[in-house]
Amino acid sequence: MTALKASMAGTVLNILVAEGDAVTAGQAVITIESMKMEIPIEAEVGGKVEKIHVEVGSFVNEEDTLLTLGE
Amino acid sequence: MKKILIANRGEIARRIIRTCNRLGIDTVAIHSEADGDLPYVSEATEAVLIGPNPVVQSYLQMDKIIEEAKKRNVEAIHPGYGLLSENAQFARKVTEAGIVFIGPESSIIEKMGDKIESRKTMIEAGVPVVPGTEEGTRTLEEALEAAAGLGYPVMLKASSGGGGIGMVRCEDEQALSQQFAGVKNRAKAYFGDDVVFLEKFISDARHIEVQIFGDHHGNIVHLFERNCSVQRRNQKVIEESPSPHLPQDARERLCAAAVKAAEAVRYTNAGTVEFIVDKNNDFYFLEMNTRLQVEHPVTEEVTGWDLVEWQLKVAAGEALPQQETIGSKGHAIEYRIYAEDPKTFLPSPGKLGKVVWGKGARIETGYEEGNSVTPFYDPMISKIIIQGADRVEALAKSQKFFATAEITGLKTNIALFKNFIESQEFISGEYATAVLPQWMEKTKEEKKI
């Protein structure tokens, strides 16, 4: 299991995947809005989305876990 | 005027408070929860918590802000820049509440906020505009046909857009086809209106704007130009006045066109007319900003006038000085310090550790050591304005300033300025709007070798 963490503090603008989806490394999975900018957060590794820990509109701090990826 | 409310935050709220203090005007600051510790809140005569951190729940709460203004008996509201400053509905509501809106009439804000409408107004007034579509392009087919007529590359723009959001450069038919729906959706999401239009992309162009001012007695004046071509993500990073390599006759024509543009809408208060200027010094109207600009200190340094004071005077019905009495002396450059990665330009919110500035600059800052730059608002920390007898002196002072400038605790673009102001591109003054990304690309290549 790999935890995908927020690279910076901000508000979750979009969740581009659903639990159970297969994602590839480099694929944008969540968009965070920080300082009036939209920042796509990409999956560092490929895998299946096991759990999404945030929802649209939630505020995240840097290093907060956004979602966990399984095999 | 005895008391005003400032419907803004950070450095611009602080800047307005400073002039108000000098003029003996009381100020009411509004702030979100996250901004309670910022200097502007304690520096205002009164302060009120307006709401939670997201702007829609705080700084964009029109009715709540107006209610506070009434309760606290203010005579006028200053909107600053950004936020509600170019919101015609807010200006109208303020006026209807019997409070003076420090800015132009709501009908002017409305007209100039609509890019298609403002282009039409300028064409009628005889001000040259960038070749483009006269109306919005509703479908991709319409856009492709229009683009073929204009010639690629083209700029696809949201009519209600601004601040660098809602505009994309399209190199060819394929790019336009790919971008069309996205820009339309983005325009709808950000500005509530999905009308888009096309403009021809003018290459090697400079972005030069003219500061104008109008009073309620029919006098419209200009305060010369600012070159704002050093940009990243279509947003300004460095501005200077006078514009280097702009011949005197071109400068005069540009300023005259700006006054003509302002006269066409019987403009009042502070405004800026933005132009694209090509290699031959031919210029085209881009848009009009119906508010005080971020970069107004550049103009204040070369003209010697306090533009916030002018805004207050015009709002109170006083007359502006005549054009002949307004001069420009020396050279001024403004650098915007952003909380961002100097290479990727990605935001870097955080807490300010040590803040060390160099000497010989005017510093406009919304934050001091220990304050947090939060992810809820714009990444701008401070503006550094450096003035000299001429450009050479202003550049020398800039280099000295940035040699010792340092901010710890978060990433800033100070490191970028340290290098960029030593570059031939910037020193020569012969630069266009692509200068910063091009220079970064070049230095990256050189490092590889």
DSSP result, B45-96: SEEEEEE-SSGGGTTT-HHHHHHHHHHTT-SEEE--SSTTTT-HHHHHHHHH
Q: Look up the pTM and report it.
A: 0.93
For residue B94, the distance in angstroms to the closest alpha carbon of chain A comes to 26
Is B162 an 8 Å CB contact of chain A? no
Region B294-320 average pLDDT: 98
Residue B295 tokens, joined: 């970069």
Region B160-176 average pLDDT: 87
Contact A8 B379 (CB under 8 A): no
Contact B339 A10 (CB under 8 A): no
Find, among B119, B204, B199, B213, the residue nearest to B166 by Cα: B199
For residue B165, the distance in angstroms to the closest alpha carbon of chain A comes to 10
Give the confidence band of B192 by pLDDT, cuts at 50, 70, 90.
confident
Task: Return phi, psi of residue B332, to 5°.
Answer: -135, 140
pLDDT score for B448? 67
Chain A hits for B340, CB-CB cut-off 8 Å, are 35
For residue B347, the distance in angstroms to the closest alpha carbon of chain A comes to 6
Region B110-119 average pLDDT: 93
- Could you tell me which chain A residue has the CA closest to the CA of B379? A35
Residue A43 tokens, joined: 């999956």
Is B349 an 8 Å CB contact of chain A? yes
Beta strands (DSSP E) in B163-315 are 165-170, 196-200, 206-214, 220-232, 235-241, 269-277, 283-289
pLDDT score for B449? 59
Residue B16 tokens, joined: 């307005």
Cα B34 to Cα B374: distance, rounded to the nearest angstrom: 7
Query: Which residue of B347, B374, B376 is in closest CB contact with A37?
Result: B347
Letter string b/e over residues B53-92, b meaning 16 or more CB atoms within 10 A of that residue's CB: bbbeebbbbbeebbebbeeeebbbbbbbbbbbbbbbebbb
Residue A30 tokens, joined: 């969540």
Instruction: Give the position of tokens 């400068």.
Output: B251
Instruction: Give the whole-number percent of chain B exceeding pLDDT 90.
Output: 92
Residue B439 tokens, joined: 């220079």
- Could you tell me the CATH number of the domain that includes residue A64? 2.40.50.100
Contact B347 A11 (CB under 8 A): no
Contact A34 B378 (CB under 8 A): no
Contact B346 A9 (CB under 8 A): no
B163 pLDDT above the threshold of 70: no
Helix (H) or strand (E) holding A51: strand A47-52
Q: Which residue has the higher pLDDT, B231 or B344?
A: B231
For residue B374, the distance in angstroms to the closest alpha carbon of chain A comes to 8
Please report the residues numbered 39 through 78 in chain B whose beta carbons come closer than 8 angstroms to any beta carbon of chain A. Answer: 54
For residue B314, the distance in angstroms to the closest alpha carbon of chain A comes to 32
Contact B377 A35 (CB under 8 A): yes
Cα B380 to Cα B60: distance, rounded to the nearest angstrom: 19
How many CB pairs below 8 Å do chains A and B form together?
A: 35
Is B82 an 8 Å CB contact of chain A? no
Region B394-415 average pLDDT: 96
Instruction: Give the whole-number percent of chain B exceeding pLDDT 70.
Output: 99
Contact A8 B54 (CB under 8 A): no
B251: annotated active-site residue: no
Cα B262 to Cα B255: distance, rounded to the nearest angstrom: 11
End-to-end CA separation in angstroms for chain B:
62
Chain B hits for A35, CB-CB cut-off 8 Å, are 339-340, 347, 349, 375, 377-379
Give the confidence band of B283 by pLDDT, cuts at 50, 70, 90.
very high
Chain A hits for B374, CB-CB cut-off 8 Å, are 9
Contact B349 A36 (CB under 8 A): no
Find, among B199, B193, B190, B189, the residue nearest to B135 by Cα: B199
Is B375 an 8 Å CB contact of chain A? yes
- Could you tell me which chain B residue has the CA closest to the CA of A61? B375
Contact B347 A39 (CB under 8 A): yes
Q: Name all domains of chain B by residue range, CATH numbers in brackets.
A: 3-102 (3.40.50.20), 131-200 (3.30.1490.20), 206-445 (3.30.470.20)
| pLDDT tens-place string over residues A10-37 | 999 999 999 999 999 999 999 999 998 8
Q: Return the CA Rg of chain A.
A: 11
For residue B419, the distance in angstroms to the closest alpha carbon of chain A comes to 25
Contact B377 A9 (CB under 8 A): no
Residues spanned by the domain of A52 = 2-70
pLDDT score for B446? 79
B244 pLDDT above the threshold of 80: yes
| pLDDT tens-place string over residues B345-386 | 999 999 999 999 988 999 999 999 999 999 999 999 999 999
Work out the mean pLDDT of chain B and round it to a whole number: 95
Is B366 an 8 Å CB contact of chain A? no
Options B291, B336, B362, B391, the catalytic residue: B291
| Number of domains, chain A | 1
* Contact in structure between B212 and B222 (CB atoms under 8 Å): yes
Chain A hits for B57, CB-CB cut-off 8 Å, are none
> On the CB side of B182, how many CA atoms lie within 13 Å of its CA?
11
ipTM of the complex: 0.85
Region B163-181 average pLDDT: 90
